[in-house]
Amino acid sequence: MIDYADLSARIAALTQGETDEIALMATLACELHHADDRFDWTGFYRVVAPDLLKIGPYQGGHGCLVIPFSRGVCGAAARTRQTQLVPDVEAFAGHIACSSSTRSEIVVPVIGRAGRLIGVLDIDSDRPDAFTAADQAALERMMQDVFGDL
């Protein structure tokens, strides 16, 4: 299991003073992806227009390039501003299969200063039911710590 305290400390050291969203996303995608073998695809989708996400920095195979807020797990997280913890993507109505190997997924909204939605963190696993409430709490805290003042 991932040691989120250690990972958060490492990310804080790597990102200290950085305000560029893309640089932060790239660093987090890399650190998260290599921190846990449950993570098959790790990356960000950025808000680029009203109700529209576009792929940002990621690790893993290719991802979907564009996701409207009205579709998929990422769209649901962006639309509701609530973390989506999906133990079985096939049971999620409207799931977008960017990769046929994805079995479960967690998507965390990335919210900056004054409630501005920056994007979403998307982590896919090739294992069913790979993510827990502890993952959710730690990832939400991490996104707040890194992006909350931007």
Looking at residue 28, what is its pLDDT?
98
pLDDT tens-place string over residues 59-71: 999 999 999 999 9
pLDDT tens-place string over residues 73-107: 999 999 999 999 999 998 988 888 787 889 999 99
C-alpha of 141 from chain center:
12
Looking at residue 94, what is its pLDDT?
81
Distance CA 49, CA 103 (A): 29
pTM: 0.97
Given a contact cutoff of 8 angstroms between Cβ atoms, the answer to whether 139 and 133 are in contact is: no
Q: Regarding the domain with residue range 4-147, which homologous superfamily does it belong to in the CATH classification?
A: GAF domain (3.30.450.40)
Looking at residue 80, what is its pLDDT?
98
pLDDT tens-place string over residues 35-59: 999 999 999 999 999 999 999 999 9
